[in-house]
Structure 1
Amino acid sequence: MSETRSSNFECLRILAIILILIMHSYAQANCKENLFNLFVGYVISAIGNIGVSCFVLLSGYFGVKFKMQRFIQLILITTFCTVISFIANHGWLFNISFFDSLIVVLRYKNWFIACYLILMLLSPFINKAMLALSKMEYNRLLIILFVTFSVLPTLFVSYYYTILTDGGKCLTYILFLYIIGRYLSLFYSEKKISKSLCLLSFLSLTILIVMLNVTISYVFHKECRIFSMDCSPLVLFSSLCVFFFFKGLALKSRLVNSIAASVLAVYLLDNLRLYVSDHIFDITLYAESNFFLLYLMVFVIVVFVLGIVIDKIRVFVCGKCENYIIKKL
């Protein structure tokens, strides 16, 4: 019997997707009046945005190796999940929107997948360039990128109209995170940091992010989430704390590994939240409830499990067909 591979980073992948689902589900609930639930939104924003960062840090740590089969497979999975989400939410309507879902990749409709596909194309060149740098040169590069793509956009720059767009939801920041991940792999693969220190640092950073955002919102009478943007230095440091926490775990689980294999599909099936809300559990009905947080967790679990089940069915039913298409292309 083959030995089960380590599951610590697989757990992190699962956590990353769940955090993204929680953040999106909270936004869908649209809380407006309950002060506690509004405060919960600030906490979710502070924690949720580390999801993508952790996912890309992991990609950088292990290194993306461009393979045409994997590239095509990701396009097929993205198209499949987009079509399934469309049918679930709108039925069998063969209109312009349906055909639009077939070319979601070409139109960059999913920002993360579009960026990740481009990252895959660029990865051979990035990996080779990073190996050519000394540690000191790498340090200087990271300082320049950190100031340019994290500090300045957070403190001074309008993040919608610069080389860094939408608070870090763009290719520029994804590449920055990937380069950090490569750095950790090249120079800190054996580095161990106390899990207690990582956890304490993460909690401290989360509290700081929430306090800054709430304070600015109160002073200027306008909702502020500046310090919980993807590109925020505080979110970046939080992501690194979580990364090193899971790096230090010793965990092996076939179940965890099996679930982790489907987390990208869960992310791509994110719009199933609309189906769940319409047909199973309407989260918007509890937006002002004092038990909203509990309802939110149940809602996220339902969406997550549904996504896992659909992906496992996809692999079972379409796996051979998918492999055939990949080989022919």
Structure 2
Amino acid sequence: MDTPSSSSSRASNFELLRILAMLLILILHANFLTFRFPTQEAIHTRPLLALGQVWSEALAIVGVNVFILISGYFSIKARVKGIVSLLFQALFYTFGVYCTLVLLGVEPFGKSELIGSLMPLNRKAEWFLPTYLGLMLFSPLLNAFAQRTDERGLRHYLLLFFIIEFLLGFMNDQLEVKDGYSLFSFAGIYLVGRYLKLYPEHFSSWRGRNFFLSYLGLTLAQSLALIVYAYVTKESIMGSPLTYKFLRYVSPINIAASILLFLAFSRLSLRSTIINWVSSSTLAVYLIHCNPHLIGRYTGFIKGLNEQYPTATFIVLVIGFILAVFAGSILIDKLRQLLWKRVISPLYDAGACLWKRVGLPSIQFPEPKD
């Protein structure tokens, strides 16, 4: 994913990681959102297939946390124009998707639906965008805290933060972390990204391959433990609150896996205009396929494939479908970027200039320093 507030410095290794993070989110929704966890019958009759389903969930669940780590690593440069750009991008897809479906005759026209499409930050429709906007607004405070705290102080604060989140959020649901779907959780992950940027020397002794293998091993060990537990106790994964929580964003294992994958890509040295070109539109992939009018069709199409084809063919077709959704969304977003560059951005600049000329106050966010 990419946002208007991200750093202008575009290292292709992290841009490639953005692309991977979005592909992981597509896989996550193609797996867990579509089929949930494997049933007890599947675990006992097809344990390897069930393990593969859970492991793919564990591998993919890190996508959102990785994106927030990248945002923290480069630090969000909060600007009014960046916020306007993000809101325009959200509006472009909520309004555009609804109007397109109505014109194609797929959705009936409704006044309330039309009004709803003009409200892209509707929390009931989707959670990520309003939460990320909140992170943007709070980022100057988080940046200032990370800058003014020494390494030891920031490390101890992060340790305390995640202990509290584990005890009161992960274990007991006494914090408003909502399994990681919250500004509270985003703030902690963001600060980890800042720490990794400001103090990289603490992780310099490991090679990228070791980080990546640790990511694979940790997620596999967690998945295997969940399958073995469900097999022995005959208790469904969904039926056990604790095991279910281990495959949520707030899980300490998944946070650790996110960091390991991030550090693996941090070791790459890569420069590519194509990767950067694709990466600049990855947020569109999320906004399109998670649109409330499309997400049900996304999961429904995958369910249909599962009912029509054997497992091996189904997996190949799903991979092709995911890649098609990804590529189509990227191409659509290039039109949105052109509209922003040629029309909306100049209108904003003209309005901002007029605002200053009449002497009205403007909002200035402090710039983070790396």
Output the amino acid matched with 1:214.
I
Task: Name the CA shift for 1:195/1:178 in 2 (closer, same or farther; >3 Å).
Answer: same
Letter in 2 for 1:303: V
1:209 matched to which residue of 2? 222
- The SS at the match of 2:269 is coil
More moved, 208-217 vs 6-15:
208-217
> Match of 1:134, as an amino acid?
D
Residue in structure 1 matched with residue 194 of structure 2 by the alignment:
182
Change (3 A) 1:213 1:325: farther
Alignment partner of 2:311 out of 268, 280, 290: 290
- Output aligned runs, 1:88-237, within 5 Å: 88-89=100-101, 90-91=106-107, 93-105=109-121, 107=123, 109-150=125-166, 153-154=169-170, 156-157=171-172, 159=173, 162-188=174-200, 191-192=203-204, 193-218=206-231, 219-224=233-238, 225-237=244-256
Partner Cα separation in structure 2 for residue 187 and residue 97 of structure 1: 48
Q: Which residue of 1 aligns with 2:260?
A: 241
Match of 1:251 among 270, 275, 278: 270
Q: Secondary structure at the match of 1:269?
A: helix
| Alpha carbons 2:289, 2:295 under 8 Å: kept | no
8 A contact 2:131–2:183 mirrored in 1: yes
1:262 to 281, 290, 297: 281
2:326 partner amino acid? F
Q: Return the letter of the residue paired with 2:285.
A: V
1:308 aligned partner = 330
Per the normalisation by structure 2, the TM-score is: 0.79
Change (3 A) 1:45 1:189: same
Judging changes above 3 Å, is the alpha-carbon distance between structure 1 residues 30 and 108 closer, same or farther for their aligned structure 2 residues?
closer
Q: Who is 1:320 aligned against?
A: 342
Note if contact 1:85-1:271 (Cα within 8 Å) is conserved in structure 2: no
Query: Aligned match of 1:23 in 22, 28, 31?
Result: 28
SS at match of 1:126: helix
Label 1:324 to 1:109 Cα distance change in 2 as closer, same or farther (>3 A): farther
Query: Residue 71 of structure 2 contacts residue 190 of structure 2 at CA under 8 Å; is this kept in 1?
Result: yes
Q: For structure 2, list consecutive stretches of 5 or more residues without a partner in the other structure.
A: 1-8, 239-243, 353-370
Residues in 1 aligned to 2:123 and 2:57: alpha-carbon distance in whole angstroms? 27
CA distance in 1, matches of 2:184, 2:296: 34
Decide which moves more: 221-230 or 32-41. 32-41
What residue is the counterpart of 2:53 in the other structure?
Answer: 41
Please report the RMSD computed on the Cα atoms of aligned residues, expressed in angstroms: 2.7
The alpha-carbon distance between structure 1 residues 189 and 145, as it changes in their structure 2 partners (threshold 3 A), is: same
Residue 66 of structure 1 corresponds to 78
Identity of matched residues, % = 26
* 2:168–2:175 Cα contact (<8 Å) kept: no
Q: How many residues align?
A: 321
1:241, 1:152 → 2: CA distance?
Answer: 24
In structure 1, C-alpha distance between the alignment counterparts of 2:348 and 2:49, rounded to whole Å: 46
Which residue of the other structure, out of 80, 83, 89, is the alignment partner of 1:77? 89
Are residues 22 and 103 of structure 1, via their aligned partners in 2, closer, same or farther at CA, if it must alter by over 3 Å?
same
Q: Would you say the 8 A contact 1:37–1:293 is kept in 2?
A: no
Structure 2 CA distance for aligned equivalents of residues 108 and 275 of structure 1? 15
TM-score (norm 1): 0.88
Structure 1 residue runs without a partner (length 5+): none
